[in-house]
Amino acid sequence: MAYVLDGDNVRHGLSRDLGFSPEHRAENIRRIAEVARLFNEAGIVLITAFISPYREDRDMARAIIGAERFVETHLATDIAVCESRDPKGLYKKARAGNLPGFTGISAPYEAPLAPEVRLDTGALSIEESIERLVGTVLPRLRNFRVPV
């Protein structure tokens, strides 16, 4: 069994009290990591889709979840491609100064130094991206064990 958490479903509930300051971003990632650990302990694979701009926060998440269960996936897509795909118009708002602290525009992004998976979705098709991701994750799933 698997479940997906993303920024929208978490920010409307579990982290609705948080903003986008570095401290709030760290707390958001900590909460997500704790939820992921609980899901894993229940035998459920949790896929998390979040912008996590700071290496320190991702390292914290890996420590909480467990290195053997944490697969850092870096979507290393050029910002121009991200802007062209932006259905909510957030990049346009950020460039106009209406979204302060927007990752990649007015706030930093620290790329992972050694992610398990790196996908440039501007260069790879959806099928190629999925193939690379599954090729990394599937062997780990075969060894997935629920702690006793």
**Beta carbons within 10 angstroms of residue 65's beta carbon:** 22
d(CA 116, CA 133): 9
Q: Cα 71 vs. chain centroid, distance in angstroms?
A: 10
Question: Which positions ≥6 away from 35 have C-beta within 8 Å?
Answer: 5, 14, 46
Integer angstrom CA distances of residue 67 from 39, 64, 85, 129: 15, 8, 32, 23
Instruction: Spot the catalytic one: 15, 52, 84, 125.
Output: 52
d(CA 20, CA 103): 9
d(CA 56, CA 41): 24
Check if 84 is active-site: no
Active site (catalytic) residues: 52
